[in-house]
Amino acid sequence: MLGGMSWESTAEYYRLANRLVAERLGGLHSADLVLRSVDFAVVEQLQAAGDWESAGGLLAEASAELETAGADLLVLCTNTMHKVADVIEAAVSIPLVHLVDVTAAAVNDAGLTTVGLLGTAFTMEQDFYRGRLRSHGLDVLVPEATDRAVVHRVIYDELCRGVVTERAAEQYRDIISRLVDRGAEGVVLGCTEIELLVSADDSPVPVFPTTRIHVEAAVEAALVDPVGPVATCR
């Protein structure tokens, strides 16, 4: 697992991975994993500067360290930094479980064709995420500019710092309602921290929690023998 973006959501990745392995295998089983957690302040500065080349290089190097440490499956514990997924994939020989692909599969399995997307401004406004969802046959709606600013601010100023407030939850509920009014049949929670704030109870349509979807796909891929010991989840 390559995490730290932010550590708040990475902690949820770790918790879910261990919980899901225990549910699958029972007893005292837990996830056999390697976790590399980067300093999010450095990554955020590169994001803000638009220096995606340096950000990609930093994460590619960290991913190579995970492979050297014995990982045979890579999970990038962030939505936004899937912008540099191709750089990471080029740096390792192990497979990357791509968050957008497994999320799109979940939406398609639910029989939906139009989804609203919440995430950082980078995720909502750039094509690396929306375009990949569209490549799976989905129509993607994002909030209007004012609402996008609210979603982004809450992520960086509150959720990444472990601050969860009812006011922010209410703002997100209102934004979701406006997406539904525009035709969204479901809502992709396209930032790992959003799941700390919003759940299915906050939406009149199905939500797709990308962290859980991502971890479930990774655990499924990592458990080579569903009735035997964990081969790896790293």
CATH classification of the domain holding 133: 3.40.50.1860
Residue 228 domain flag? no
Instruction: Let me know whether 185 and 204 are in one domain.
Output: yes
- Cα separation of 87 and 85, whole Å? 5
Instruction: Let me know whether 12 and 88 are in one domain.
Output: yes
Percentage of the chain beyond pLDDT 70 is 95
Instruction: Let me know whether 179 and 145 are in one domain.
Output: yes
Q: How does pLDDT run across 117-143, given as a tens digit for each residue?
A: 999 999 999 999 999 999 999 999 999
Instruction: Let me know whether 118 and 62 are in one domain.
Output: no
Instruction: Let me know whether 28 and 110 are in one domain.
Output: no
Residue 231 domain flag? no
pLDDT at 22: 96
For tokens 């010991």, what's the residue?
Answer: 229
Residue 105 CA: distances (Å) to CA of 88, 137, 160, 187: 22, 10, 27, 14
Q: What is the mean pLDDT of residues 191-217?
A: 95
Q: Which of 77, 160, 191, 233 is catalytic?
A: 191
Known catalytic residue: 191? Answer: yes
Residue 46 domain flag? yes
Instruction: Give the domain extent around 49.
Output: 2-98+213-222
Chain mean pLDDT for the chain: 94
Q: Where are the beta strands (DSSP E) in 33-113?
A: 36-37
pLDDT above 90 (res 168): yes
Amino acid residing at 144 = E
pLDDT above 60 (res 208): yes
Query: pTM of this prediction?
Result: 0.90
Which residues, 6+ apart, have CB-to-CB distance to 83 below 8 Å?
Answer: 52, 122, 126, 128, 129
Known catalytic residue: 10? Answer: no
Instruction: Let me know whether 177 and 103 are in one domain.
Output: yes
Work out how many domains the chain is built from and give that number. Answer: 2
Instruction: Let me know whether 141 and 172 are in one domain.
Output: yes
Residue 25 domain flag? yes
CA torsion through residues 104, 60, 84, 37, sign: positive
